[in-house]
């Protein structure tokens, strides 16, 4: 009898949890620009499902990645911390393993969801650590079906996936479609209890590739081959998102599922230039084109609309913790601020400085760094995507992003006091963040 009572209590508890805890699907594209969304580019590309999320959800007009490159951006997204605090500051996990893995003592988003009774899964790209204790299944993900580094994907039709520790080769599938199928399978297997699914697409990252019949309609529009291929890759990803949304509807869980779509950074300069709403800069740079990204949160309980205040990836975890009522004792305070209370009200996050810095290998803070406070952005210019050889002596720049969102007019000489104020903010942050990075 006692066993029966305990069993009934467990069933009732699980049912209650499933009803009150929203599912969360976090979808990240790779090297996708704001200008790649058809709703923003006049129909050059075809993204009806992403367009639909924007129409039905909350669109963040000034959303930023935490870095202009993928590994630091993803580490920040998963931890709510600036990249330097996570230990992930550069690219190439194979060449620089100690600079590309999230510190073991830091909980990830998956750890926090898992500790609150969620089933957690990562489908797609993992770029946050190699080695014992640093793999997805070690970092809070119950299930991992994806690739650990770029060597897994020599071609979109010829790739390997690591399925919970076992590498499997695929030669007759298209990577993006395979990831979409696996995301749908995850939802099917876990729809009866709360789940957190991180769908980390590779598209439209190099190596560029898509079926020729999907590329042709864009070539027929007069687009260059690489641009046509990128748009085809994004269209296929968008179709997979649509299939996932349809499955949520079929299972009757769309109402209780929160969906976030974003990109990790701006467009790759190694690929032919394509329209990006006139933004200055690309991937690798802390200019707007490198760090300003699409970001939409769709959940029927929140309604639709747009927000103009700036957010970055550091804000996602604290916001999800509030939205989902997640409890977790954090030893390291998060760098981000929750935007939860602003979603259903005409409010904004209180103004605060936001920071970026990236160079290859160990951080050299005279290179490629920026701080934004309100309308003003202070920039230490980008120099190289290779390892810096010395301290940069390039003069800083100051922009007013409200009057000049394209960073065309340097106002540093016109507003020396504002430049000095932001310089001080950036100096203080770099000192703090480097001490955190090197702390043992």
Average pLDDT, the chain: 95
In this predicted model, what pLDDT tens digit does every residue of 22-68 receive, in sequence order?
999 999 999 999 999 999 999 999 999 999 999 999 999 999 999 99
Which residues of the chain carry a pLDDT beneath 70? Answer: 1-19
Res 10: pLDDT: 39
Q: What tokens does 404 get?
A: 């000049």
Res 11: pLDDT: 42
CATH number of 354-438: 3.30.1120.10
Extents of the domains making up the chain: 20-342, 354-438
CATH architecture of 20-342: 3-Layer(aba) Sandwich (3.40)
Using a CB cutoff of 8 Å and minimum separation of 24, what contacts does 391-399 make?
391/364, 391/366, 392/364, 392/366, 392/367, 393/366, 396/423, 398/422
Best CA proximity match to 257, nearest among 41, 70, 53, 48: 53
In this predicted model, what pLDDT tens digit does every residue of 243-258 receive, in sequence order?
999 999 999 999 999 9
Res 20: pLDDT: 72
Contact residues for 396 (Cβ-Cβ < 8 A; gap 6+):
378, 379, 380, 381, 412, 419, 423
Best CA proximity match to 257, nearest among 190, 344, 318: 190
In this predicted model, what pLDDT tens digit does every residue of 368-382 receive, in sequence order?
999 999 999 999 999
């Amino acid at each position: 009898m006692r066993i029966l009572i305990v069993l009934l209590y467990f069933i009732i508890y699980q049912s209650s949890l499933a009803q009150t805890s929203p599912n969360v699907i976090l979808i990240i594209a790779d090297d996708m620009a704001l200008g790649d969304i058809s709703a923003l580019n006049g129909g050059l590309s075809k993204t009806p499902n992403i367009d639909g999320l924007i129409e039905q959800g909350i669109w963040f007009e000034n959303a930023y990645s935490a870095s202009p490159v993928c590994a630091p951006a993803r580490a920040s997204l998963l931890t709510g911390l600036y990249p330097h605090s996570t230990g992930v500051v550069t690219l190439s996990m194979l060449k620089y393993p100690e600079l590309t893995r999230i510190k073991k003592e830091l909980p990830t988003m998956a750890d926090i969801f898992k500790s609150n009774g969620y089933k957690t899964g990562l489908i797609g790209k993992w770029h946050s650590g190699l080695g014992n204790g640093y793999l997805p299944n070690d970092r809070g993900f119950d299930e991992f079906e994806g690739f650990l580094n770029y060597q897994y994907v020599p071609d979109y039709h010829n790739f390997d996936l690591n399925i919970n520790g076992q590498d499997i080769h695929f030669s007759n599938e298209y990577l993006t479609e395979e990831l979409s199928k696996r995301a749908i399978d995850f939802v099917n297997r876990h729809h009866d209890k709360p789940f957190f699914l991180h769908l980390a697409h590779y598209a439209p990252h190099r190596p560029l590739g898509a079926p020729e019949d999907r590329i042709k309609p864009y070539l027929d529009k007069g687009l260059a081959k690489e641009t046509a291929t990128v748009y085809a890759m994004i269209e296929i990803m968008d179709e997979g998102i649509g299939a996932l949304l349809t499955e949520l509807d079929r299972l009757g869980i769309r109402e209780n599922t929160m969906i976030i779509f974003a990109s990790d950074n701006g467009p790759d300069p190694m690929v032919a230039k394509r329209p990006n709403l006139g933004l200055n800069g690309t991937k690798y740079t802390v200019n707007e084109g490198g760090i300003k990204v699409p970001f939409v949160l769709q959940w029927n309980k929140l309604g639709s609309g747009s927000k103009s205040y700036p957010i970055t990836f550091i804000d996602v975890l604290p916001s999800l913790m509030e939205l989902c009522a997640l409890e977790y004792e954090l030893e390291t305070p998060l760098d981000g601020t929750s935007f939860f209370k602003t979603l259903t009200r005409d409010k904004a996050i209180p103004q605060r400085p936001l920071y970026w810095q990236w160079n290859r290998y160990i951080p050299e803070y005279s290179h490629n760094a920026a701080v934004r406070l309100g309308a003003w952005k202070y920039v230490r210019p980008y120099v190289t995507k290779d390892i810096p050889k010395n301290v940069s002596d390039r003069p800083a720049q100051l922009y007013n992003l409200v009057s000049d969102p394209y960073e065309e007019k340097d106002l540093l000489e016109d507003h020396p006091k504002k430049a000095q104020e932001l310089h001080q903010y950036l100096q203080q942050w770099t000192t703090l963040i480097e001490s955190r990075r090197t702390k043992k």
